[in-house]
Structure 1
């Protein structure tokens, strides 16, 4: 992040609301059990389970992270990314710094890393590329970062696990580490000879065909557990090295049916095997039971599939990560204990954000995961969930403090109680194709809406009746803004123009057009003049931040940015403007000298919405990566 000058003293990332819970095993606990390590977009986060203000961010990836593994001793973490730059980064967690950057995997457009996995002693790291774009599977020495062994595979590895060392015929450990991989062809067992490379043996499962999602060795490393998409897990014998030097066959022992929705996570802790299901359940099995495996539910009906299970044996707790991006903490010793929600997050693009007037503690967000949430900025918890069925996606948002107004893809505007989340009312047939923009009047008596076909409409809130229908735009209305006295409405559109409307006369006063491409967003900026003239800021496909004086036809200033910008907002004091775009950077500018004050790096995909808190102390940005970032904004005295 660049240094800040002018009216800003500094900008820092205060908190990240975001967890890529859909990744297989993207959540781990450090040995103390007090901190979790997890994936958030292109960032590795180290966060306290009890203090929401205790977060650290490991940044180095240029694309979203595709896989994560933390060593058993908690010293190291490895993360791989998607895309053309198929890097694996090994992190020193104590120093919170990059230790190695492994760059031997093929950099292809649709490539990336599919698996990273440390050996039990953290001496070796296994990495696999996303085949067939990248067919490499490599083992790295963590004492120096060099490659120990490498093979090519024609199918993508879906999961892998290390299991100590190969045993000889008398079940004594040899010097060869062992691991297993799963892919579309089934399970394969691997023997690593650091001097001579890798040898493999297919795992024989008779005629049984399964799609394997996760694998784990038993504590004694004599059994292998493999979860499947059919909701069961397989138990296989781990082979020994025979007196003639060959490996005995690895064979299926039995199959245990667990849940619906597939098995997505396995974790072994002592004699216990924890199985995470697609139905939101966690089931415990005793691995020493030789006659069969008796289940005990330790959690069920949680939000989404259980994609991650992390165990802290010393504290007797578990952290659970779900596909809906919720992190739970579970007390394993307490019978029938309901897991505690540590953090909730959106699991899809977050398209809108809104603060209520005069309230810097609560804000609302809307996401493509079909949810609208009201957050408490003091502890980043969710106060209220707002949702309706069969509405499509939420496209736009306005927050009054007592109510949340949402424009939906089905063309309706719905209002929700901000404390209870219940739907209060709905206005049908507001805009065909969806309500793409909303603006609430400062007196909270009416609501302005924009549609996908260019219409602008004004609704009285008390009666929910249409009071104005303004037609001038030829394409989607992308943004709306109201003057402080609620007499003038400004609307921006994909048709390259923004229009100033007189709401009393219900007519257009003036229209301005940019040179190329549609306008994505506008914001109003009070000008430091006795006449209280208002400037309009616009961003769009023209790749510039444009300043407009409503008394002039042409822009008064153009600030080139280089990439398309999608959102813009101004601080309430008018000193700072923030913009965000497809390059995933939040930029802050001085509104007097048009100077760049700061570049804030935190998102891993396009920034879709921005808003300053009413007291200007914080800036909230939301992105296509599903993250909501809260930035502290410090100003000069």
Structure 2
């Protein structure tokens, strides 16, 4: 990589993303001004005042649980890892926004964690392959004691909550087990008492403890709530009797009024009485509810769902306001309208979304039920979004309303994988999973197949068209990039490498192309005769899936399975900046037309915006 020491850090400006699959992963800080939530191996702190984001980096794999101390001084997060490896929990200093201690004990996964009321201890619970509960000294970051979380191996523990009043008492629960633990500090032991639930056999997913510690509530996968007396450890009640919460209780929060907010697997948020579980109000949300977080006393609260949506509610009106939307499946591609940096579009397995670049707000969502969008492009006149779908169709939508304008049926037999539009807005070039390149003429309300070019033996992954619309280049998984004549519809040149090509770009002067793929190399090739000019070591591990070049041609960006965004100097072939922030494999990268930002997308549903370090040249 040449001048290794001169590589600078690429500045991350914003992240569009939220992992709604982490139970109780969405939290509101006691200062009432920050939302805290996980995305991949990052913990995000988002200001409710100005939407500014701060990122806590330190985990090596996906964050699986998050907790905040009562004082707000500390945040704790746990992660998953691979079988046989240790999964870390990290205690973060909130004021300094840096790591306070790394806790290294549990195997494979940290399932849940909770702070004691006076910031003395943190209790962590290992996942199914670990099965232990450990109490840590927050100040020193050292383990005090541990114990198997449940009495029998079948009773996998799923959640843990600390008492609100006593640093020495906490509750754990899971599959067929509810225990109240007492910490005996002088003897460095924790002693459990099994709670008696009579004949009831339940799997508990979440625990909620009112401020006075009189009772605690256990939300179950069966859709009912168990109310247990904290001091006697006996079951006090169970409900609702008739209308259980469909698909189980995933999250609960107790309000000052004594009412319970209950989030269930069917996407319902319900307010019910804490005494008899009678339903007071309920509202349907998109996706299974996985987090409920109170802001302050609960006059306002936030709800997170598996569909990666965050909603904001007021206590009095109980109406959901969509606070933040995110992709909840792999993002496949990104595109900017010609000459505009204000908006950009992304496509994923579920939909196409148009975003406002500066605010990260979703402006438009286009869904085709049960279909996956593989690639997209804007027509140069900005009047349509052209998209490639796995059902073999090309769909053209209006960017303002998302109205379907035209469908090209049976465009490719094994799905449309790549797409590009000519500058005159009259033709589309598409690439299919079967390896064909097809040229379509787009007429008003109809289309015509102009030509099919069959040379690739495997999926076409990327197409770029020359500025005069007379030539294009296609990159394929068959190890070939082909330069096509779009006047005579024949092959001009072919470049071959021992790689599944993922991406190709024309240099703006159009005498060279650069390629990337699974061989981790960046290849420079002569357009005129297809000869190799140079080869760079582009990545230390994994394929390079996306690349994009500036309009001036001085720099280009790459991203791939290494999870790093790299900015390169084109003629020197050296990396100038590296962006660390993605947790999933990077699927595409794009420099915005005004050269101020880079947008990168990844397989975990995240969309990241970076400050581009080389303004217009």
Shorter-chain TM-score bucket reads: over 0.9
In structure 2, what is the equivalent of residue 268 of structure 1? 254
Seen in structure 2, the aligned counterparts of structure 1 residues 295 and 104 have a Cα distance that, compared at 3 Å, is: same
In structure 2, what is the equivalent of residue 343 of structure 1? 324
1:367-400 deviation line (CA, Å, top 9, x unaligned) = 12x1110001121111111011233x11111123
Seen in structure 2, the aligned counterparts of structure 1 residues 158 and 402 have a Cα distance that, compared at 3 Å, is: farther
Indicate yes or no: 2:148 matched with 1:152.
yes
In structure 1, what is the equivalent of residue 367 of structure 2? 387
1:93-104 equivalent positions in 2, closer than 5 A:
93-104=94-105
Asked if structure 2 preserves the Cα contact closer than 8 Å seen for 1:258 and 1:283, the reply is no
Seen in structure 2, the aligned counterparts of structure 1 residues 19 and 28 have a Cα distance that, compared at 3 Å, is: same
**Cα distance in 1 between the residues matched to 2:123 and 2:215:** 20
In structure 2, what is the equivalent of residue 115 of structure 1? 112
In structure 1, what is the equivalent of residue 217 of structure 2? 225
In structure 2, what is the equivalent of residue 295 of structure 1? 279
Seen in structure 2, the aligned counterparts of structure 1 residues 402 and 258 have a Cα distance that, compared at 3 Å, is: farther
**Cα distance in 1 between the residues matched to 2:44 and 2:428:** 39
Q: Which moved more, 1:351-360 or 1:542-551?
A: 542-551
**Cα distance in 2 between the residues matched to 1:220 and 1:67:** 25
**Cα distance in 1 between the residues matched to 2:429 and 2:234:** 67
**Cα distance in 2 between the residues matched to 1:402 and 1:629:** 26
Indicate yes or no: 2:565 matched with 1:586.
yes
What's the offset of the Cα at 1:285? 3.0
**Cα distance in 1 between the residues matched to 2:594 and 2:397:** 25
1:147-191 deviation line (CA, Å, top 9, x unaligned) = 1211134454211111245xxxxxxxxx76222212223322222
Q: Which moved more, 1:411-420 or 1:310-319?
A: 310-319
Asked if structure 1 preserves the Cα contact closer than 8 Å seen for 2:9 and 2:579, the reply is no
| Aligned equivalent of 2:170, options 156, 167, 179 | 179
Seen in structure 2, the aligned counterparts of structure 1 residues 147 and 390 have a Cα distance that, compared at 3 Å, is: closer
Indicate yes or no: 2:545 matched with 1:562.
no
| Aligned equivalent of 2:502, options 517, 520, 525 | 520
1:54-453 equivalent positions in 2, closer than 5 A:
54-83=52-81, 84-106=85-107, 111-132=108-129, 134-153=130-149, 154=153, 156-164=156-164, 177-196=168-187, 197-240=189-232, 249-256=233-240, 257-270=243-256, 271-287=258-274, 289=275, 292-297=276-281, 300-314=283-297, 316-333=299-316, 335-336=317-318, 338-368=319-349, 370-391=350-371, 393-400=372-379, 401-453=382-434
Asked if structure 2 preserves the Cα contact closer than 8 Å seen for 1:33 and 1:317, the reply is no
Seen in structure 2, the aligned counterparts of structure 1 residues 469 and 176 have a Cα distance that, compared at 3 Å, is: closer
**Cα distance in 2 between the residues matched to 1:5 and 1:394:** 40
Secondary structure at the counterpart of residue 635 of structure 1: coil
What's the offset of the Cα at 1:627? 0.5
**Cα distance in 1 between the residues matched to 2:482 and 2:255:** 63
**Cα distance in 2 between the residues matched to 1:539 and 1:433:** 23
**Cα distance in 1 between the residues matched to 2:176 and 2:9:** 53
Asked if structure 1 preserves the Cα contact closer than 8 Å seen for 2:287 and 2:307, the reply is yes
Seen in structure 2, the aligned counterparts of structure 1 residues 136 and 545 have a Cα distance that, compared at 3 Å, is: same
1:180-210 deviation line (CA, Å, top 9, x unaligned) = 2122233222222222311112222222222
Secondary structure at the counterpart of residue 465 of structure 1: strand
**Cα distance in 2 between the residues matched to 1:226 and 1:283:** 15
1:94-125 deviation line (CA, Å, top 9, x unaligned) = 1101000111223xxxx121112112222211
What's the offset of the Cα at 1:272? 3.1
1:528-563 deviation line (CA, Å, top 9, x unaligned) = xxxxx4211111111111111123444211111222
Indicate yes or no: 2:13 matched with 1:17.
no
**Cα distance in 2 between the residues matched to 1:10 and 1:486:** 37
Indicate yes or no: 2:467 matched with 1:471.
no
**Cα distance in 2 between the residues matched to 1:620 and 1:577:** 13
| Aligned equivalent of 1:622, options 601, 604, 609 | 601
What's the offset of the Cα at 1:278? 2.1
Where structure 1 has 5 or more consecutive residues not aligned to the other structure, the ranges are: 166-174, 241-248, 528-532
Asked if structure 1 preserves the Cα contact closer than 8 Å seen for 2:422 and 2:465, the reply is yes
Q: Which moved more, 1:43-52 or 1:357-366?
A: 43-52
Seen in structure 2, the aligned counterparts of structure 1 residues 351 and 56 have a Cα distance that, compared at 3 Å, is: same
What's the offset of the Cα at 1:19? 0.5
1:463-512 deviation line (CA, Å, top 9, x unaligned) = 32211111100001011000011110100100101000001101111101
Asked if structure 2 preserves the Cα contact closer than 8 Å seen for 1:206 and 1:252, the reply is no
Aligned alpha-carbon RMSD (Å): 2.1
Where structure 2 has 5 or more consecutive residues not aligned to the other structure, the ranges are: none
**Cα distance in 1 between the residues matched to 2:273 and 2:14:** 39
In structure 2, what is the equivalent of residue 28 of structure 1? 27
Asked if structure 2 preserves the Cα contact closer than 8 Å seen for 1:39 and 1:45, the reply is yes
Indicate yes or no: 2:515 matched with 1:534.
no
Seen in structure 2, the aligned counterparts of structure 1 residues 37 and 176 have a Cα distance that, compared at 3 Å, is: closer
Asked if structure 2 preserves the Cα contact closer than 8 Å seen for 1:384 and 1:420, the reply is yes
Q: Which moved more, 1:564-573 or 1:395-404?
A: 395-404
**Cα distance in 2 between the residues matched to 1:326 and 1:511:** 45
What's the offset of the Cα at 1:315? 7.0
| Aligned equivalent of 1:613, options 581, 592, 596 | 592
